Amino acid sequence: MSGASPSPAPPSAPGTGFGFEVGDTLAGGAGRTGTITTPHGTIATPAFVVVGTKATVKTVLPETVAELGAQAVLANAYHLYLQPGADVVEAGGGLGRFMNWPGPTYTDSGGFQVMSLGVGFKKVLAMDTAGLADDDVVAAGKNRLAAVDDDGVTFTSHLDGSRHRFTPEVSMQVQHRLGADVIFAFDELTTLMNTRGYQESSVERTHAWAVRCLAEHRRLTAERATAPYQALFGVVQGAQYEDLRRRAARDLAAVEIDGHSFDGFGIGGALEKQNLGTITGWVSDELPEDRPRHMLGISEPDDLFTCVENGADTFDCVSPSRVARNAAVYTRDGRFNVNTAGSRRCFEPIDAECDCYTCTHYTRAYLHHLFKAKEMLAATLCTIHNERFVVALVDRIRTAVSDGSYADLKAETLGRYYPVR
């Protein structure tokens, strides 16, 4: 189905410790199961990767993260570079050992911060642009902490105001010292407010940076020959434009340096929710089938189905944990806030069908009490539940792809979660 020309030889030659194997496929679509192998364990895909930006899944012990079924954790190069410093993490044995997470780890490149601290200052990556105008972005830019140029990005630390420079090479050096099993190429995110012209030049810039990342990655891999192999994923941008997304994916897939190419690919950037499936489909169509495809920042139930059936293998997202800290919890029948009056005297679990530690031991009334009393345990218990909810949902999707029940699972799950859609 792929229209791409024969891809370069897989970089993950035997012995590197990294690999990807496709399992079952979804009839009539791009969906598939698979297995990602890393030096720190395997990941059965589709899989949800839990986010632990600063080398911790906020409010939760690593043992608990494992218990709730997470197969991998994703941290962030920009944040760990600023604090405690990549050298400290490296001296601490690398990301996994430093944070006491024995399984597979990922690090994001810092590309997201180019946007969130730059033009997207104080703005969420726009998936719903209603009410937003170009002026909002321009005004926000007045106080931005990051400025992009063709060579890289200059950041002002949000911690102490100091100035820092990230280039593709710096991001690779930082991510090599952090030592995650999967690292991402340094990319530029745009917003939906950017013009078509800017999106074009941004895709070119991201591609040029990806090439530089692969080159620096090869150099570092050779230089650090005794270190565990780290897989590098290129990141596909291109906003909502089919030609840009397809070209970005095709061009990344074709990059080859000394016989090596990207081990996998990330799909990210500005896009509207209703285009998510279509865009994922275009990109999957262009990418080689023997490499994993990671969706950056996706976890809503409908989005997970949409992406899987269009070829996505893994996901990460801050939403389950962030939202949990603010009292929003997922249930089979939709999301609600436990800190509202309705839960004050409700002695039922968040979701009676959930097998998580929180649902098997605590009531909505207790969680409501913890939030009202501003007790830290509220965030911990709700994070456990939300992460379990998303991990378990993706696990069910994976099983359904294999046993042919995907369509039924999708209809039943979304019918309950979004009753009036």
Partner RNA sequence: GGCAGGUUGCCCGAGUGGCCAAAGGGAGCAGACUGUAAAUCUGCCGGCAUCGCCUACGUUGGUUCGAACCCAACACCUGCCA
By C-beta, is 13 or 133 nearer to RNA? 133
Q: Give 50-104 as a 3 state SS string.
A: EECCCCCCCCCCHHHHHHCCCCCEEEEHHHHHHCCCHHHHHHCCCHHHHCCCCCC
For the annotated binding site for Zn(2+), the residues are 354, 356, 359, 385
Residue written as tokens 């710096």? 170
In angstroms, what CA-CA distances link 218 with 117, 179, 280?
A: 29, 14, 28
**60 binds RNA per the rule CB under 7 A:** no
Residues with a catalytic annotation lie at: 108, 316
Q: Are 46 and 188 in contact (CB under 8 A)?
A: no
Choosing from 345, 361, 372, 416, the residue that interacts with RNA (CB under 7 A) is: 372
- From start to end of 212-300, where are the E strands? 231-236, 264-267, 293-296
Over the window 89 to 118, marking each residue x when it contacts RNA by CB under 7 A and - when it does not, the resulting string is: -------------------xx-xxx-xxx-
Q: Report, in Å, the least distance between residue 420 CB and RNA.
A: 13
- Would you mind telling me the total number of residues written for the chain in this entry? 421
Q: Which two three-digit tokens encode residue 66?
A: 């494992």
Angle at 301 between CA 300 and CA 302, to 5 degrees: 95
By C-beta, is 11 or 301 nearer to RNA? 301
Q: Report, in Å, the least distance between residue 234 CB and RNA.
A: 10
Q: Which two three-digit tokens encode residue 420?
A: 């009036």
Residue written as tokens 């999708």? 410
The single-letter code of the amino acid at 8 is P
Residues 72 and 77: their CA atoms lie apart, in Å, by 16
Choosing from 4, 147, 257, 318, the residue that interacts with RNA (CB under 7 A) is: 318
In angstroms, what CA-CA distances link 386 with 113, 147, 151?
A: 25, 35, 39
**345 binds RNA per the rule CB under 7 A:** no
By C-beta, is 219 or 325 nearer to RNA? 325
SS3 300: coil
Choosing from 179, 297, 311, 349, the residue that interacts with RNA (CB under 7 A) is: 297
By C-beta, is 361 or 372 nearer to RNA? 372
Q: Among the candidate windows 94-102, 124-132, 217-225, 256-264, which touches RNA by CB under 7 A?
A: 124-132
By C-beta, is 47 or 115 nearer to RNA? 115
Q: Are 44 and 33 in contact (CB under 8 A)?
A: yes
19 phi, psi to nearest 5 deg: -170, 170
**141 binds RNA per the rule CB under 7 A:** no
Residues 343 and 337: their CA atoms lie apart, in Å, by 9
Whether the ω angle into residue 8 lies within 30 degrees of 0, i.e. cis, is: no
**274 binds RNA per the rule CB under 7 A:** no
By C-beta, is 102 or 342 nearer to RNA? 342
**164 binds RNA per the rule CB under 7 A:** no
By C-beta, is 34 or 297 nearer to RNA? 297
Q: Which two three-digit tokens encode residue 157?
A: 């630390």
Choosing from 44, 145, 227, 254, the residue that interacts with RNA (CB under 7 A) is: 145
Choosing from 285, 300, 309, 313, the residue that interacts with RNA (CB under 7 A) is: 300
Q: Which two three-digit tokens encode residue 141?
A: 């830019």
Over the window 215 to 254, marking each residue x when it contacts RNA by CB under 7 A and - when it does not, the resulting string is: --------------------x-x-----------------
Q: Are 128 and 107 in contact (CB under 8 A)?
A: no
Q: Among the candidate windows 250-258, 277-285, 332-340, 401-409, which touches RNA by CB under 7 A?
A: 332-340
**319 binds RNA per the rule CB under 7 A:** yes
Residues 4 and 254: their CA atoms lie apart, in Å, by 9
Q: Among the candidate windows 57-65, 191-199, 213-221, 408-416, which touches RNA by CB under 7 A?
A: 57-65
Q: Note the residues at the interface with RNA (CB under 7 A).
A: 51, 53, 57-59, 74, 76, 79, 108-109, 111-113, 115-117, 121-122, 124-125, 127-128, 143, 145, 158, 184, 187, 189, 235, 237, 266, 268-269, 273, 296-300, 303, 316-319, 321-323, 325-328, 336-337, 340-342, 344, 372, 374, 376, 379
